[in-house]
Structure 1
Amino acid sequence: MTTPRPDIPERTREKWQRMVDLISEIADVPATLIMRTLPPDHSVAVSSASPENPYVVGQSFTLHENLYCFGVLQNDGELVVEDAACDPRWSCNEDLEADEMGFYIGYPIKWPDGGVFGTICVLDRSRNEKALLFRKGLQEFCGVVEDDLAMLMEVERRKTVQQTLRETLASQEAKIERRTKALEEANIALRVLVDNVEERRKDAEQRVYDQIRELILPLVTKLRQLHSDEDVEAVYLDMISENLEGLSTIVSSDVAQALERLTPTETEIVQLILYGRTTKEIANVLSRETSTIDFHRNNIRQKLGLKRHQNLRQHLACLSH
């Protein structure tokens, strides 16, 4: 992620202003400048408030080889010109011709990523021994400016990251909202589907029950009348009748699980117990001894986990509801 170059805030400009004023006082020079480079322009960003300083903030120059600061940027380092009038390289520069500024010391100012911000420099109309001795001090002030630029870049980077995070968060929230809405719509559709299935199931059960009641139970009633004197056949007819009537209801999962653990004979005995038959009646229906029925009842109790004080018929009745 490339961090954009921030504008220099007023508070930082005020700090730099105090700094260049101090440099001019210490080095005893009429002009201390912080220059901003935005090729092809090179303009005054901060200028010392010295009474003999001819440079004003906003004053702009076009970069070319006869400009002192061009030499700084070309060297990518220090430039010292003690007397431009005696130096063929600088004898035709603008500062000497316009304001007789023949003495110059300058250093490049860079952004933390290595890009050029501009220069910091001092100028005088004659060779200045104090300024020459203050070269390391000027480099230190250059470092202060670069530290400020690094801090501004970091602040800008964090703002960019925060903005990116806010945009990402907003995007995720919008995505979650869309998905939530889609899930709500899917849930509504699912509830409608489940309701329709349940309604159809009830309709199907009702049709089965109606057909049993209208077509089969009348025949069972007639069979019961024909065999009313035969006890065993009557018992089985009663069981058939009650089982058919029970087809319209859902057998509970507890009853289903209990019957899975029983043998076919035990299952038959459970049904007879639920119909209220005594041990003697069950033995008569199944053509077994009562002791055999008692044996099966004990097995049933064990498989259902019943204790001695628990009633088998009541337990079976509870399971079936």
Structure 2
Amino acid sequence: MSATTPMKPDVQTDRPPVSAQTLAKWQNVVDHISQIAQVPATLIMHTQAQRHDVCVTSGGAENPYSEGQSFQLHDKLYCFGVFENDGELCVPDAAHDPRWRDNTDMEYGMSFYVGLPLKWPDGGIFGTICMLDRRRNIQALSFRKGLRQFCRIVEDDLALLEEIERRKSIEARLQQELESREALIATRTQDLEDANTALRVLLQSVEASRNEVEDRIAQQIRGLVLPHIGRLRQLNGEDARALSHLDVIEANLKNITTAMTGKLAEALADLTPTEAEIVQLIVQGRSTKEIANTLSRGTSTVDFHRNNIRQKLGLTHRGKNLRQHLASLA
């Protein structure tokens, strides 16, 4: 880089700010350097584009630099030479150095300079750390290695600042993701609640429709069918078998819209037609003899079917009453 080439600014625009705690630490650093190297001024400079500002300055009455003091970065600043070298610049006596005899810091009489670049972890320039004096300082020249160590301390702090900022950014993204997921869960929960509400309304509507249909069927049975069964009972008043069948028909019609068609219907599905007929007569309270007369069968045949029914219904213990069990299913 030539002496007239302008300094390229740091390409990163989202560098983390230097915390007050870190600035306090750097203050101790520059004060220690000034004390050990016996120089009136030790500076940590911060470079942003073409601005070169005093970030931290050592204490002492002989130090002409103040915190926040700003310079325009150009080739007559010692720190410009640091950036040119991309490394240490050592000027033991600027008065005898043609390059630096008219540099800006000579306005303060600072003819002695040792400086190093300060960089972010990615190589971007933060600024410089430097020692200045009004005379050739042998003590400071011998402390150049020590200055490098303090330079590493400051750069470690810069790396720590970026790591803290990175973790904050990750934490913020995670928090944003968490809030987004919580919002999504809340939305889906509300959707499920709305769906459940709609389903309950639908089920209530279906139940109401079912009840309405059952009521209509029951009314039709009572108005259109049962009167004719009553008439048939009058016409067959002396036929016991016919009356028994009519009783079964009437009872089944009355229960056609009730829970009687539930468990008992399931039980009837596993029986033969004759067994199913016997079960319905048992539910009506008919005795074996009455069932035999109704079906024109012998009582032994009815007993045979009753035993088969008991086995199919799982009534293996003879002490359990078949009619009571069938009544519980109805």
Fold shared per TM-score above 0.5: yes
Amino acid at match of 2:27: Q
**Which residue of the partner structure matches residue 311 of structure 1?**
321
The alpha-carbon distance between structure 1 residues 26 and 86, as it changes in their structure 2 partners (threshold 3 A), is same
Out of 211-220 and 180-189, give the one that drifted further.
Answer: 180-189
In the alignment of these two chains, the number of paired residues is 318
**Which residue of the partner structure matches residue 93 of structure 1?**
103
CA distance in 2, matches of 1:268, 1:113: 94
2:43 touches 2:131 (CA, 8 Å); kept in 1?
yes
CA distance in 1, matches of 2:268, 2:139: 110
- Give the structure-1-normalised TM-score: 0.92
Amino acid at match of 1:63: L
2:214 corresponds to 1:205: yes
Out of 56-65 and 188-197, give the one that drifted further.
Answer: 188-197
Q: Partner of 1:35: helix, strand, or coil?
A: strand
The alpha-carbon distance between structure 1 residues 217 and 9, as it changes in their structure 2 partners (threshold 3 A), is same
Q: Deviations over 1:16-58 (max 9, x none)?
A: 1111111011011111000001111001001111322111111
**Which residue of the partner structure matches residue 270 of structure 1?**
279
2:62 corresponds to 1:56: no
Out of 251-260 and 283-292, give the one that drifted further.
Answer: 251-260
Q: Partner of 1:235: helix, strand, or coil?
A: helix
1:42 touches 1:60 (CA, 8 Å); kept in 2?
yes
Instruction: Summarize the alignment of residues 122-201 of structure 1 with structure 2, pairs less than 5 Å apart.
Output: 122-201=131-210
1:34 touches 1:118 (CA, 8 Å); kept in 2?
yes
- Give the structure-2-normalised TM-score: 0.90
Give structure 1 stretches of 5+ with no counterpart.
none
User: Match for 1:222 among 226, 231, 234?
Assistant: 231
CA distance in 2, matches of 1:317, 1:291: 23
Out of 61-70 and 185-194, give the one that drifted further.
Answer: 185-194
The alpha-carbon distance between structure 1 residues 305 and 249, as it changes in their structure 2 partners (threshold 3 A), is same
Task: Quote the offset at 1:156 in angstroms.
Answer: 2.3
User: Match for 1:74 among 84, 97, 105?
Assistant: 84
Q: Deviations over 1:230-282 (max 9, x none)?
A: 12111111111111111131345422332222222221111111111111222
Task: Quote the offset at 1:157 in angstroms.
Answer: 2.4
**Which residue of the partner structure matches residue 8 of structure 2?**
none
Out of 72-81 and 198-207, give the one that drifted further.
Answer: 72-81
The alpha-carbon distance between structure 1 residues 148 and 305, as it changes in their structure 2 partners (threshold 3 A), is same
**Which residue of the partner structure matches residue 32 of structure 2?**
22
User: Match for 1:233 among 242, 248, 262?
Assistant: 242
User: Match for 2:266 among 254, 257, 264?
Assistant: 257
Task: Quote the offset at 1:3 in angstroms.
Answer: 10
CA distance in 1, matches of 2:205, 2:113: 92
2:260 touches 2:329 (CA, 8 Å); kept in 1?
no
CA distance in 2, matches of 1:229, 1:252: 31
Out of 50-59 and 26-35, give the one that drifted further.
Answer: 50-59
Q: Quick one: percent identity of the two aligned structures?
A: 58
CA distance in 1, matches of 2:191, 2:235: 64
Out of 305-314 and 279-288, give the one that drifted further.
Answer: 279-288
**Which residue of the partner structure matches residue 21 of structure 2?**
11
1:3 touches 1:160 (CA, 8 Å); kept in 2?
no
